[in-house]
Chains A and B, each alone.
Chain A
């Protein structure tokens, strides 16, 4: 089975801090994704990456950046955390870039910005 591991289940940070969320997958997947999930809004794509050092903006990239230095690891960075970034963050990976590939999800990081 595919394993997608997010480094923290719960995280509390302060406004203005630089925050790193880490995600690792163990199945040599090409694609990796970061979503945020908020009640009533479903999953919204922040950024995705289809190869090492490659990244594409999703629907809500403002205030975020990403890093993919190795194929198995995809990091989400909050450059200067704000309270409106309090949310559940989900990482996912998929095998290839075709649309018929299911995404495999980590357990999520619940981030609170105080």
Chain B
């Protein structure tokens, strides 16, 4: 069965520092991969997605993610974090023949220190 693991429940970084949020998935074939962000009291907003091709994908708000098949990972990165990036981040995987369902990780909460 597919699964998504976000090993870090909570991360704190200083404003201006670089950020990497980890995501590992379990799926037999090449999955469809997504990163979402949720600001407090809001719904989820799509940051970026990977289906095929170039393994480094660019998203909104200056985020990027790299698909590494050998490590079953899809880590999210940002070179310089802003205070407004404080939010919860969810990694998700979609699969073939699953009716459009996504499997979400448990989320990583990001705090940004001034």
> Which residues from chain A sit less than 8 Å from chain B, CB to CB?
4, 30-31, 33, 40-43, 45, 48, 50, 56, 58, 90, 92, 94, 96-108
Given the contacts A48-B101, A108-B43, A99 and B96 also touching, CB distance less than 8 Å: yes
- Give Cα A50 to B42, complex, Å: 25
**Cβ of B95: which chain A residues have Cβ within 8 Å of it?**
99
Tell me, in angstroms, the Cα distance from A50 to B105 when the chains sit together.
23
27 A-B pairs with C-beta separation under 8 A = A31-B99, A40-B106, A42-B104, A42-B105, A42-B107, A43-B44, A48-B99, A48-B100, A48-B101, A50-B100, A94-B100, A97-B100, A98-B96, A98-B100, A99-B94, A99-B95, A99-B96, A99-B98, A99-B100, A99-B102, A100-B32, A102-B49, A103-B44, A105-B44, A107-B41, A107-B43, A108-B42
Chain B contact residue count (CB 8 A cutoff)? 27
- Per the 8 Å Cβ criterion, residues 71-90 of B in contact with A are 90
B106/A102 in contact, CB under 8 A: no
| Shortest Cβ gap from B96 to chain A (Å) | 6
Residues of chain B within 8 A (CB-CB) of A104 are 46
Interface residues of B in 31-56 (CB under 8 A from A): 31-32, 34, 36, 41-46, 49, 51
Taking the closest CB of chain A, its distance from the CB of B109, in whole angstroms, is 10
* B residues whose Cβ falls under 8 Å from a Cβ of A: 9, 31-32, 34, 36, 41-46, 49, 51, 90, 94-102, 104-107
Chain B residues lying within 8 Å of A105, measured Cβ to Cβ, are: 36, 43-45
Cα separation A31 to B101 with both chains bound (whole Å): 9
CB contacts (< 8 Å) of A58 on chain B: these are 101
State whether B100 touches A101 (Cβ < 8 A).
yes
Which residue of the partner chain B has the closest CB to A32? Answer: B100
Kindly state the separation between the CA atoms of A73 and B43 in the bound complex, as whole angstroms: 18
Residues from chain B with a CB closer than 8 A to the CB of A99 are 31-32, 94-98, 100-102
